[in-house]
Amino acid sequence: MKNPVLQLSRLSAPGDQRLAEAFDLVFLKDQEDPQGFLKEQGHRFQVAVTTAPIGASADVMAALPNLKAVVCRGIGVDKVDLGYAKTHGISVSSTPDVLTECVADLAVGLMIDTMRGLSASDRFVRQGHWPKGAYPLTSRVWGKRLGILGCGQIGQAIAQRAQGFRMAIGYHNRRRRDDLAFEYFDSPVALATWADVLMVVVTGGEQTEGLVDRAVLQALGPQGYLVNVARGSVIDEPALVQALQDKSIAGAGLDVFVREPQVPTELMPLDNVVLLPHVGSGTHETRRAMEDLVFDNVQSFFSNGRLITPVVA
């Protein structure tokens, strides 16, 4: 008999297939009446598999009375009700480390695109504007000041790459880190005031919601750029839209949004913002590594009752 696993969000086709071969995998949304299914069959499942954008709500976990583990593909677990999980003895795992390098690659590429106007100048050529005149000048990348908001593993990987562009590095965390040689700033406003580029890499959730607010954007100023590869919730999105519309900041590169996959329509016509569909970890190699870790976490739980990479143990 295969151990039953409830899937709240699909992985890739190979990832789903591997789980289905090893476990009795049930995808909740395949059920004609998902709520009725949970009421009748929810007691069967000790493990649920999900992804960062979907997570696991308290209501869903409450409908699984024997749930012992939520295994999440992704580093962000802000869509998992961690308070409920901890209170009810449910372990939660994420997939750290394996996505660090690809997210850092994407972040630096997005910064370059934003500052040098790569996507906008591509549209300029495709739309036939070049014969009518040259593309406007852009801002250099090398030698600028990069402020990293959230200098954890991904932030440090971004800093390592940025040093290749001879950028000065500053950062803000909740606490200064003695192991980092970069200049520390005691608030997001102070960091934004110093930086030419503000790179947002903090974790999502209630503690960081709206952290980059109107005051931070004003501190960044009309020559400053914002790049967000963290969570959409970290940014005061209406304030950012206004700042881009009135050019009180120079530009933004955004891989994440508050109501994904919905993107504010006001951003669509703007050439001073690059819009990506949350693809920071979106490479074949990284997704395979993330889903291998999901599988290993599920297998480990059924083997010894423990997750390999727990967020809540």
Residue 232, token pair as written in the block: 């959409």
Find the DSSP H helices in the chain.
13-22, 34-41, 58-62, 82-87, 100-116, 118-126, 153-163, 188-194, 214-220, 237-245, 284-304
The pLDDT assigned to 312 comes to 83
- Domain extent, residue 42, equals 4-96+285-312
Q: Is residue 87 part of a domain?
A: yes
CA atoms within 13 A on the CB side of 169: 19
Q: Are residues 115 and 53 in the same domain?
A: no
pLDDT of the residue at 138:
98
Confidence of residue 193 (pLDDT cuts 50, 70, 90): very high
Q: Are residues 258 and 141 in the same domain?
A: yes
236 pLDDT band, cuts 50/70/90, is very high
> Residues 231, 280, 162, 122: is their CA dihedral positive or negative?
negative
Surface-to-core class of residue 145, CB atoms within 10 Å of its CB (0-12 exposed, 13-18 middle, 19+ buried): middle
Q: Has residue 117 got a pLDDT over 90?
A: yes
**What does the alpha-carbon distance between residue 77 and residue 67 come to, in Å, rounded to a whole number?**
17
Residues 138 and 232 in one domain: yes
Q: Are residues 170 and 263 in the same domain?
A: yes
Nearest CA to 181 out of 224, 151, 202 is that of 151
Residue 85 located in a structural domain = yes
Assigned domain for 303 exists:
yes
Check 231, 237, 287, 291 and give the catalytic one.
231
The mean pLDDT of 232-256, rounded to a whole number, is 98
Q: Check whether 313 has a pLDDT greater than 90.
A: no
Are 227 and 138 found together in one domain? yes
Catalytic residue among 129, 260, 285, 306: 260
At 233 the pLDDT is: 95
The band of 67, judged by pLDDT with boundaries at 50, 70 and 90, is very high
Told to judge if 260 belongs to the known catalytic residues of this protein, a careful annotator would answer yes
Same domain as 104, residue 91: no
96-116 pLDDT per residue, tens: 999 999 999 999 999 999 999
Contact 224, 198 (CB under 8 A): yes
Distance from chain centroid for Cα 187: 22
Does residue 176 have an active-site annotation? no
Q: Quote the pTM value.
A: 0.92
Per-residue model confidence as pLDDT tens digits over 204-226: 888 999 999 999 999 999 999 99
- Do 302 and 254 sit in the same domain of this protein? no
Residue 280 located in a structural domain: no
Q: Is 231 in the active site?
A: yes
What's the confidence (pLDDT) of residue 205? 87
| Active-site pick, 88, 145, 161, 278 | 278
Rounded to whole angstroms, how far apart are CA atoms 213 and 184?
20
**Residues 154 and 56 grouped into a single domain:** no
Burial-class residue 62 by CB neighbours within 10 Å (0-12, 13-18, 19+).
middle
What's the whole-number average pLDDT of the chain? 97
Question: Which pLDDT score, from 0 to 100, does residue 192 have?
Answer: 98
In a domain, 294, yes or no: yes
pLDDT tens digits along 121-174 = 999 999 999 999 999 999 999 999 999 999 999 999 999 999 999 999 999 999
Work out the percent of the chain whose per-residue pLDDT is above 90. 97
* pLDDT score for 178: 93
**pLDDT tens column, 250-286:** 999 999 999 999 999 999 999 999 999 999 999 999 9
Same-domain pairing of 187 and 86: no
Same domain? For 202 and 216 the reply is yes
Are 115 and 223 contained in the same domain? yes
Percent of the chain residues past pLDDT 70, beyond the cut: 100
CATH number, domain containing residue 119:
3.40.50.720
On whether both 29 and 124 belong to a single domain, the answer is: no
Residue 256 lies in a domain: yes
CA distances from 24 to 19, 47, 131, 264 (A): 8, 11, 61, 40
- Whose CA is closest to 166, among 141, 184, 197, 191? 141
Domain count along the chain: 2
pLDDT confidence of residue 76:
86
